[in-house]
A and B are shown apart, each in its own frame.
Chain A
Amino acid sequence: DQQVKQNSPSLSVQEGRISILNCDYTNSMFDYFLWYKKYPAEGPTFLISISSIKDKNEDGRFTVFLNKSAKHLSLHIVPSQPGDSAVYFCAAYAGGTSYGKLTFGQGTILTVHP
C-alpha cells in the first residue's frame, strides 16, 4: 500500500519558470511532511518541510503548500534553475510509535531546460 504517492514520474520546465511538484498521501496520521532532492548515486538532501498545523512554508525559491483536507502537498520552485534538475521525493511521518520513520513517495524527475 503506497501511503505517499507522487503520480508524475517526470516534469520538464523551462529555466525561469515555476516548477510544481505534487504529492498525495493516504495516512491521516502523518503530521510532518518533507521534500528531498536526490542526485543519482547520492543520498537525499533535505529541502523544506511543513508541519500539519501549517498550510504553507517558504524558504527562498522553495515553497511547500499543504492541503490537509485533500491530503495533498506541493512543492513550488520559483524561478527554476538548471541546477534544480534532480529527483524530488516527497516524504512524511507520523508521531508516536512511528516517530522518525519516513515514508517516501516514488519520486519525480525534474528537468529544467536552459
Chain B
Amino acid sequence: GAVVSQHPSWVICKSGTSVKIECRSLDFQATTMFWYRQFPKQSLMLMATSNEGSKATYEQGVEKDKFLINHASLTLSTLTVTSAHPEDSSFYICSARVKGSYNSPLHFGNGTRLTVT
C-alpha cells in the first residue's frame, strides 16, 4: 500500500515553455504533499508544501510564480514549471503522507527528470 505515482517520469522541453508534473496518491488520501528537487550528486531539497484546498507554502528562495503548485484533491497535486529555462533542469520528486498520520513516513514518487533545452 501507500503508493505515490508521479508522471511523467522524464520530459524534455524547450526553453520558455511550461511543463506540468502530476503526483497522485493511488491507494490513500494525502492532505499534504511535498515537492522536492534534487541536483546531481546533491541532497533532496524541499521546494514547497502542498495542502489540499489551500495555497502551497514555498521554501525560501523558491519562486512561487515560477513553480506553480495546485492540490485540487486529496489524491492529486501538480507542479507546473512555467517559462522553463535550462537552469530548471533537475530531478523533481513528490511525496505524500497518509492523511491523519503523524509519524508515518513520507512515501515518494519515482521522480521526474526535467531537461530544458
Contacts and interface: CB of A to CB of B under 8 A. Distances in A.
A51 B102 CA distance: 11
Contact of B43 (A46, A95, A106): A106
A32 B103 contact: yes
The B interface is mostly helix, strand or loop, or mixed, namely: strand
Given A100-B34, A101-B34, A101-B46, A49 B93 contact: no
Size class of the B contact interface (CB-based, 8 Å): 20 to 34
Interface residues of A, number: 22
Contact of B110 (A43, A95, A101): A43
6 residue pairs, one from A and one from B, having the closest CB atoms = A43-B108, A46-B105, A104-B44, A104-B43, A106-B43, A43-B110
Interface of B: 4, 6, 9, 32, 34, 36, 42-46, 49, 91, 93, 95, 97, 102-103, 105-111, 113
